[in-house]
Structure 1
Amino acid sequence: MKGKHSTTERKLFRYALHFKKNILIGLICLVIAVALELTGPFIAKRLIDEHIVGIEDQWHQVKSADDYTVRYEERLYKRDDRLEEGEEISGTATILQVGRSYYFIPEEVPASGNRSIEDNRIRIETANKTYTADAQSLSLQQLYRFFRPEIPSIYWLLGIYVGLLFIAAFFQFTHTFLLQRSSNRIIRKMRDDLFTHIQKLPVRYFINQPAGKIVARVTNDTESIRELYVKVLATFVTSFFYMLGIYVALFLLDVKLALMCLLLVPIIYGWMRMYKYFGGKYNTVVRSTVSDMNGNINEAIQGMSIIQAFRQEKQTSDEFESLNERHFSYQRKLVRLSALTSFNLVNVLRNIAFVGFLWYFGSQSFGAEGIVTVGVLYAFVDYLNRLFQPVTDLVNQLPQLEEARVAASRVFELLEEEGEERNSSEAARYRGQIAFNHVSFAYEDDNFILKDINFQVEPGQTAAFVGHTGSGKSSIMNLLFRFYDPQIGQVTIDSHPTTEWSRQQVRSHMGIVLQDPFIFTGTILSNVTMNDDRISREMAIESLKAVGADRFIEKLPEQYDAQVKEKGGSLSMGERQLISFARALAFDPAILILDEATANIDTETEQMIQKALEVLKEGRTTLVIAHRLSTIQQADQIFVLNHGTMVEQGTHEELVALGGQYFQMYRMQQGSSKVSAM
């Protein structure tokens, strides 16, 4: 399972590399946005320590006024860190805060230590000594004078921070836009690749796989992967850089506390590994069950008329309910697993981190010799709060991550199905000679459906294949179309083995009309042209007229542009058949295959169909699979099959005269009295 997941991740990464330029630019924008946004606490730290709390310092009496001097009791004072080199001073005072009040002390005393005030005397206890001095309480107006020199710097820092936030917002928008656009392009490419690959798969794959399961992989599974690229990976990348930036800032502020915060990383990593293991198992069942449900729904809808006719609604519902219950059960397990994460996990980690934070600062920093400033304290609290937002985002995305990972493994499993090489290059039109030389064929293992089949059809001839159900008639057509290749023997066209050409080239000059013709959603014309640029509107209309379809089409309000529903539900069987004849005629095949094309047609419609068939067969090699022997009496050759072997061949007259299997079938259909009269 581990190797499978890592392979899936590598493939997802390779898909992302198709759009690496935009992704790289987006990541650079993200790094810039995170860096700009994380400057906030540092700016706040400077604003607090230097411009707000910074007035708690030594103030020196100077002679000349400038932007940083303060007038107090007719004297000019300047803060210690604002003095210029060589500036003359005539005395030193100190400003300290005790409780909520500020005091002016007309002498130099330490700015750190435990402070108390009594009868305008301040007491400062340090680790080594206790100081006492006179103190004057500052009114609000007097205090404001000492703050006033810092106001321009405060406004300037706030302006810088707001400006950085706007710039960060621009880069954040660019990062989000580029990553999401790249994500959508990745999924578009994946869906295109998947649908293209499906068309390369051999026919036997579709026989073994319900249509609903394949549809689920193209739609549901790729949509889950889209969420991975659009939301999950973007969140993981953003959270990674955000946490990295926060840790860098923490190390710049205090190395010891930053190392304590690093304990979060192995905890989160261990939790993600555990979630990956259990979440992967549960999601595999969930995604598989969704595919089964799609297949079940597709089959039920397709066969709804039969289900209702045979009153099987309850049994069908029970089958679906069984799948639905399985889906519900494993979704519930996923919900329980997710409930342990998100708020619960992050909240516990946050509380533990704040306990450690309070212990660290409470035991070491608030003593007589405090080692941190208020600004550092604020910055730490801010960064610690910020740290848990990306952690929350990461943990909340774990369910979507595992769902997408499982969906991706299913998509890549389909993409890894061995397809057939496509070569759609134009092949020269062949004459239409067909030969089967000692052909034996089995769909599975050694259960041969066709056994040593030999026959030859010359160009322009009409050959018919008759036999009871399961005799191998359709298998012959499957081999000719190269839906399959025989295990033994050779199929040739114009004396060339069909295996020398690609499957697309073999079919490029073939047409087929099925017993139940497939009509696509669209217009009557689009069903004839199949949206192929080589078939013009005029050619399509001419083909429809040639087979007699114009008689019912021109009665429609929109005529040739009339809309038809899926499978041609608004048309009769005969009308659908005529459209399929016109489709075959428009593509002008050298070889035409009619697979029981008149089996479901009533007698009146059959006469119209027969006329269309004569137009369609003209100048082409035609192979007909027929149950109604009356429709093939004019065939140049008739081949009679029985359990995969060729038992008789000849013209209609020859086979009737032979009195064998064909004669028996013909007599059953026509009536013994009519045959006797012959």
Structure 2
Amino acid sequence: MAEGEIKSGNLVDWKVLRRLFSFAKPYMGTFWMLVVLTVVMAVLAPLRPWLIQLTIDDNIAVGDFEGLQRMMLLLVGLLLLQSVVQYFHTYLSDWLGQFVIRDLRTTLYRHLLGLRLKFFDRTPIGRLVTRTVSDIETLASVFSEGVAAIVGDLLQLVFIMGFMLYTDWRLTLVCLSTLPLLILSTWVFKEKIKVTFNDVRNAVANLNSFVQEHLTGMSIVQIFGSEKREYEKFKTINKEHRRANLRSVLYYSIYFPVAEVIQAMGIGLLVWYGARQVINAEIEPGVLVAFILYIQMFFRPIRLIADRFNTLQMGVVSSERIMSLLDSREHLADTGIYMPEHLQGAVQFKGVWFAYEEPDWVLKDISFEAKPGETIALVGATGAGKSSIINLLNRFYEYQQGEICIDGRHIRDFDIASLRRSIGVVLQDVFLFSDTIGNNISLNNPDISLEKMKQAADLVGARKFIERLPGGFEYNVMERGATLSVGQRQLISFVRALVYDPRIIILDEATSSVDTETEEMIQAAIEKLMKGRTSLVIAHRLSTIQKADKIIVLDRGEIKEEGTHEELLAKGGWYANLYRMQYKEVV
């Protein structure tokens, strides 16, 4: 079974439903009003056949025209009352469902915001989108067409049965003689449609994951000419989605005609037996007419109850998926309460060991110190562990052994939000949201004014190009900053880091993706950004870090050398070898 799939279990998982309905606690007034309206609807339903029976036998049969008029007015009044009750019942059930799914979606998104990056590394984004949007949307029908509708249908059956037995128990038995057949067909349909629904939901999740991932990576697909292969993969996934839906259509197309035939058989038996009773004057004609109406009203909720249970099952399966996500224990333990007003910026790694999956150690006994205002450069081949050091300092991941301290205080003592505000990060792959430049810089933080953004942009040399764009800071950069060059996106990321005035700056290969001319512009911005701040710099181009106070050479998670540029060249070791290799490439 693929990750994230949930097989059908029991029809109703009461534990899951209780958790789902716990989100309705703030709206219990509306919930109990809905319960009252459900009972009222069940009581009103069988009154109409009973009044019609009285009208035929007590008014029409004896020619009582005045009585007939009164009964007609009573029936019209009853229909109006049923319409009003039905309106409020439908509105309140949908109202309750929408408010519950709003709260649940907010809770789920807040939960996702707090999950470790490790969780997102192994979970397809499309599957999370399905949980947050499609699965939660399904839950609205649990309130509007699921539990409330099933309870209402069952109550209606009870009251109709009571009226039928009170009126004539023999006709009641004739009416219900075909009921076992309907119950059996309903049960078979319910079981089949339950499995089919699981297949549909899993197919939707797979489809979302594939489309999201391949649209994001469309440039790679086109660069390597994989359009046809990816199209064939999409057709296969889409075909499975179609098959799952067609299976559900097949079961619906079989069940409802069968249910209609069974109901028609029941009415036929009733008319055959009831007509003889009327001819023999054993019952009044109005009783037979009332029973025809009763049996139609009785079979209708039973015929629909399979669909109601399907809706409930859809909600249960979706709830299981959502609750499973809410129960994920992937949160970073935010137990720290230290929120310093001002940091010096001293960073210490003391014997740090880290593995994404033990025992495959990515970092092994890493120890170094960056004093306030110093620049520490991290160099090494791909996979040496440079980015992992940065991820640990920001507490994106948790290390297994050792200590990481800032200003002599363990980073686990810090409030996470306070810690991350103190660290400015500029990544190689700059991510920009489909929004204005201003909102991408401030990330919608109301504490960051436009004036502050302009000052930061001035400092790193980005204001000139920003104000040349249509709208300036109001210019929409489109998804992932597609309308800007690599260098422009990088400069915006510098401004974004600078407006928060961090004491520690992290530059993760910030110039490795740009040309030499753009690199010179960015390098000037970097020098301004690093001034007076503790800086950790990752760079493939050794020319950009020659002025660093200390260079640390990493290989396979271990520190091989450390010192200044001149000291490491003089040693003639790892760094000198890297420098000679890069110098040859440049030449």
TM-score over 0.5 for the pair: yes
Shift of 1:37: 4.4
Which residue does 2:160 correspond to in 1?
A: 246
Shift of 1:362: 4.6
Which residue does 2:35 correspond to in 1?
A: 27
* 1:545-604, Cα deviation, whole Å (9 max, x unpaired): 221111111212211111110110001111111111111111111221111111112111
Which residue does 1:136 correspond to in 2?
A: none
- Residues in 2 aligned to 1:11 and 1:261: alpha-carbon distance in whole angstroms: 40
Shift of 1:644: 0.6
CA-based RMSD = 2.5
The 3-state SS of whatever aligns with 1:19 is: helix
> Is the contact between residue 383 and residue 556 of structure 2 (CA under 8 Å) also seen in structure 1?
yes
* 1:227-268, Cα deviation, whole Å (9 max, x unpaired): 333334454344333323322321231234435656677666
Task: Calculate percent identity across the aligned residue pairs.
Answer: 35
Q: Which amino acid aligns with 1:549?
A: A
- Residues in 1 aligned to 2:240 and 2:422: alpha-carbon distance in whole angstroms: 49
Which residue does 2:339 correspond to in 1?
A: 427
Q: Which amino acid aligns with 1:640?
A: V
- Please point out which of 487, 490, 493 is paired with 2:400: 487
- Please point out which of 518, 543, 552 is paired with 1:639: 552
Shift of 1:4: 9.1
- Residues in 1 aligned to 2:39 and 2:571: alpha-carbon distance in whole angstroms: 88
> Is the contact between residue 487 and residue 522 of structure 2 (CA under 8 Å) also seen in structure 1?
yes
> Is the contact between residue 338 and residue 399 of structure 1 (CA under 8 Å) also seen in structure 2?
no
The structure whose residues are more often strand, as a share, is 1
- Residues in 2 aligned to 1:261 and 1:406: alpha-carbon distance in whole angstroms: 36
- Please point out which of 12, 16, 21 is paired with 1:13: 21
Which residue does 1:140 correspond to in 2?
A: none
- Please point out which of 273, 276, 283 is paired with 1:372: 283
Which residue does 1:187 correspond to in 2?
A: 101
* 1:190-243, Cα deviation, whole Å (9 max, x unpaired): 211111111122111111112111112212222222233333445434433332
- Residues in 2 aligned to 1:434 and 1:286: alpha-carbon distance in whole angstroms: 51
* 1:377-399, Cα deviation, whole Å (9 max, x unpaired): 22111111222332333234455
- Please point out which of 531, 542, 545 is paired with 2:444: 531
1:156 and 2:70 aligned: yes
- Residues in 1 aligned to 2:150 and 2:142: alpha-carbon distance in whole angstroms: 10
The 3-state SS of whatever aligns with 2:468 is: coil
The 3-state SS of whatever aligns with 1:455 is: strand
- Residues in 2 aligned to 1:287 and 1:278: alpha-carbon distance in whole angstroms: 15
Which residue does 1:507 correspond to in 2?
A: 420
Cα distance change of structure 1 residues 32 and 400 upon mapping to structure 2, 3 Å threshold: closer
Q: Number of aligned pairs?
A: 577
- Please point out which of 47, 56, 59 is paired with 2:55: 47
Cα distance change of structure 1 residues 567 and 350 upon mapping to structure 2, 3 Å threshold: same
Shift of 1:400: 4.2
Which residue does 1:605 correspond to in 2?
A: 518
Cα distance change of structure 1 residues 424 and 645 upon mapping to structure 2, 3 Å threshold: closer
Shift of 1:8: 3.1
Which residue does 1:255 correspond to in 2?
A: 169
> Is the contact between residue 440 and residue 487 of structure 1 (CA under 8 Å) also seen in structure 2?
yes
Structure 1 unmatched ranges of 5 or more: 56-146
- Residues in 2 aligned to 1:264 and 1:494: alpha-carbon distance in whole angstroms: 81
Which residue does 2:3 correspond to in 1?
A: none
Larger relative contact order (C-alpha < 8 A, sep ≥ 6)? 2
- Residues in 2 aligned to 1:18 and 1:245: alpha-carbon distance in whole angstroms: 32
Which residue does 2:5 correspond to in 1?
A: none
Which of the pair has more CA radius of gyration? 1
Which residue does 1:666 correspond to in 2?
A: 579
- Residues in 1 aligned to 2:536 and 2:91: alpha-carbon distance in whole angstroms: 58
Which range moved further: 659-668 or 172-181? 659-668
* 1:454-477, Cα deviation, whole Å (9 max, x unpaired): 111112211110001010001111
1:441 and 2:379 aligned: no
TM-score by length of 2: 0.92
Cα distance change of structure 1 residues 392 and 205 upon mapping to structure 2, 3 Å threshold: same
> Is the contact between residue 424 and residue 504 of structure 1 (CA under 8 Å) also seen in structure 2?
no
Shift of 1:187: 1.3
Cα distance change of structure 1 residues 180 and 380 upon mapping to structure 2, 3 Å threshold: same
The structure whose residues are more often helix, as a share, is 2
Q: Which amino acid aligns with 2:85?
A: F
Q: Which amino acid aligns with 1:621?
A: T
Cα distance change of structure 1 residues 177 and 653 upon mapping to structure 2, 3 Å threshold: same
> Is the contact between residue 33 and residue 167 of structure 1 (CA under 8 Å) also seen in structure 2?
no
Cα distance change of structure 1 residues 40 and 285 upon mapping to structure 2, 3 Å threshold: closer
1:289 and 2:209 aligned: no
